[in-house]
Every structure is written in structure tokens, then in C-alpha cells.
Structure 1
Amino acid sequence: MVQVQGSQIAASVGAATGLVAMGVGSTTDRTGLAISGSALLIVSAMILCVQAVLRAIRDTAAERAALIEERELAVAAQAGVAGERERLRAEFERIRRAARDLLNRERDTQRQALEAERFVIQRKAVLVGIEMALSGTLDELPDPPTGLLVPFPSRQSDDAEARAASDD
């Protein structure tokens, strides 16, 4: 395509200068040959520049398409991470609630076992007290259980004894 355009340019340059073209790309005068060669160089350089610009435009379009694709992948990854974060948060809350419920059940089981042992010990103590009272080794029956494993003396009775001692 470039050769055809070059020969056409050479013929038109020869016609404009009054020189007769003898064949494809050749003239009878050296001036016409120089002009046609220069014209061919200029046209070839222009074609190369246009091709370079077109390549640059194509490269820019390809880079732009790659950047758009990369951005779409990043947005999709962010959405996936957000979804995964919510899923993990929900799973963590579910596990935390299950652990809390299990801990409460274990505490209740421990409390029931402790109450059962306390009842057994308290029952045995009451039976020993009744036997001691019936055998005469104990003057009176103990007070009914207060619900504590070991009954502690109250402060009111200590204060009453201290006042009685100070009055004497």
C-alpha cells in the first residue's frame, strides 16, 4: 500500500515539475527523483507516527480495561470480605451464647450437687442430734437448720452478752 502511494506521489510530483515519469517510482531527472524520495520519506515517517499513536491508544485502552477489571475484582473482594466478616461475627456470637449457656448449666449442676451433699450432711447431723437427745447426752434439741452448712453466731447475741457482762 505504501509503494502504491509512493509511486502515485512520484508521478504527481513529476507532472507538477514538468518531468516525465518513465516507470514506477523513477523519473528522467534527478531533481524529480530527489523530490519523490523526500516525499516517500515524509509519508513513511507520518505512517510510522500514526501507527505509534494508534498503538499507544490501543495500549492505553488495554491498560484502562485491565485497571477496570482489577477494580471490579477489588470491589468484589471487599464485598466478600465484608460478608465473611459478618458471617464470622455471627458464628462467634452463636458460639459465645452456646458457651455461656453451657457454663450456666454446669453452674446449676454444681449448685444442685452441692445442695444435695449439704442436705445429706444436714440430715445426718439432725439424726445424730436426735439420737444424742434421746440417749440423754444432749439436754435439748438443736435449733432448726438455717439453710447454711455451718451456722455462724449472729452479732446481736454477741452484743447482748457484752452488754450483760458490762452491766454486772
Structure 2
Amino acid sequence: MNSDSDDALSWDGDEGSARGEPVRKKPARTPSGSAATASSERPADDPTLPEGWNAVGRGSADVGRPQNEDEDERPALSTGMLLTLGVIGGVYLLYSIGWVVGGMRLKPLANLIVADAMYVPWFVLAVAAPALWFLAVWVLTRARAGWIRVALLLLGVVLLVPWPFVTVGVIGS
């Protein structure tokens, strides 16, 4: 058995690819002896592409991707915007924790006035409100200017303060 180490790294028909030339496969022969093409309507050398496809240079990231005019390339968020979103997101997370702590401390007093069936849904909504506000602002201001997004997030910081936690605190009265 005679083996060459270069044979293990190549396939039949790879001759042109090492030199950077396109590899053209020979058409397969049918039993009648005529050359068969990949598509019966057009020859294999036809450069036309199906509708919606874009021909680009070899080595490009867009090779074989369908062309889509609707696709809008949004620029990445700046470092300042990412930092601002992270800080405000952290404040909203602390607000959710504050609503949990404050709401649990307020529950015995609230049970004197309302039943659990009324208190629990509003408690859950109060805990989820900061996350819902952040998500709503993120989705609804996607195509807007960055200052609008920041302004709406700061408005949420003012509106969603966990007042049961602020007034009673962790220790309570």
C-alpha cells in the first residue's frame, strides 16, 4: 500500500483550489453518452442567479446570502450608551428587589384592608414593573435617538421608586 501524506489533505477535483482558481466539475455522463447539467433549463456555466440572490467576491462574508433590501444595519451602541443602560438596568433591578422587600413588609398591614386575592396580583405587577418598563422602552425606542431612550429610562427611575421600601425601610417602624 503506497500512501502520500498530501493525498489525505485533498479531495478529487481540488486541483484548482490550491492556486486560487475556481474548481469546475466536469458534467456527469448519462448512459446515452451526453453530458448532463445540474439544471435541465440552463447550462452549468450560466452566471445568472435566482431572484433575490446577490453575487459577491470570493472570501466575502456575504457569499451565498440572500439579498434583502428591508434589512437595516443599525450601528452598535456606543460605550457611553452601554454604560448608561447598565447603570439604569442595575437601578431597575434594585427597584424590583425593593418592591419585594417593601411589599412583603407591607403585607400584614394590607391584609387588614384587602384580601390576598387583591393584594398578590398587584404585588407581582409592582415587582415586575421595572423590568417591564425597561423592556418596553428598549423595544419601542429602537429606531429613535439615544437621548429619547435615556430620557424615558430616567423617567421610569423617577416613577417606579419602591415607596413601601423607602418609607418603611428594611428595619421598619
CA radius of gyration, larger in: 1
TM-score for both structures, normalised by structure 2: 0.22
Larger proportion of helix: 1
TM-score for both structures, normalised by structure 1: 0.22
Higher RCO (CA-CA < 8 Å; seq separation 6+) = 2
